[in-house]
Amino acid sequence: MFTGIIEETGFIRDLSILSEGATLTVAAKNILPGLNVGDSISVNGVCLTATQIGSNHFLCDISAETLQRSTFRHAKVSGRVNLERSILVGGRLGGHFVLGHVDDVGKLSAKESSGAGSVMSFDFPQRLARYMVHKGSVAINGISLTISSLGMQSFEVAVIPHTFQSTNLSELRIGDPVNLEVDILGKYFERFFQLGVSQGASAESKLTLEYLKRQGF
């Protein structure tokens, strides 16, 4: 699990597409101390496992499923990627709960300067609309951001100068794809609600339409 607070950006040194996935080599520096083989690491918002670690790089395997659901199928050697190690128990949670399980790919639709930062708009697939909430959290390329404006198929985020300069958001051009992960809390609520109101739900389940109405929802 991650927080969406990027530790550094690395560069894709090699990306070898295979019949059943791919192998990825990322050049990095700051995150390597303490990183061990088998550790989880977020690369552009995708949770991967470090399979080899060198003095200035690490390797990961990418499954066919991940290639299909993420921007790695469009990635190029020398491309800049956002990196974050997994949460340490007892550490601060500066962003929100990010699993690194990309839900779908969106694209940058608008970008305007705002001081040293930027206001950016992203289009998203319609199937994610029910998880998008005004002032809610969303992970874009692994970055925890807040939805400042929301439409039917697009949302806007205000990116502060530090985040804009410290991540690969500054390099995005109109039409570029991005990895999107919606807030896991919304998906859990949806699942519990579906089971609570479905036919044959447990008699002990209180999560029904009537119960929610009584609670003021």
Is residue 208's pLDDT more than 70? Answer: no
Does some domain include residue 71? yes
Could you tell me the pLDDT band of residue 94, with boundaries at 50, 70 and 90? Answer: confident
For residues 177 and 109, membership in a common domain is answered with: yes
Computed over every residue of the chain, the mean pLDDT equals 90
Give the number of domains in the chain. Answer: 3
- Helix (H) or strand (E) run with residue 187 in it: helix 184-197
Domain range spanning residue 119? 104-185
Does some domain include residue 21? yes
Please report the pLDDT score of residue 24 as a whole number: 97
Please indicate whether residue 154 or residue 188 has the higher confidence score (pLDDT). 154
The single residue listed with the structure tokens 């705002």 is: 114
Gap between the Cα atoms of 12 and 48, Å rounded: 14
Does some domain include residue 99? no
CA-CA distances (angstroms) from residue 101 to 40, 44, 104, 164, 181? Answer: 12, 11, 9, 23, 7
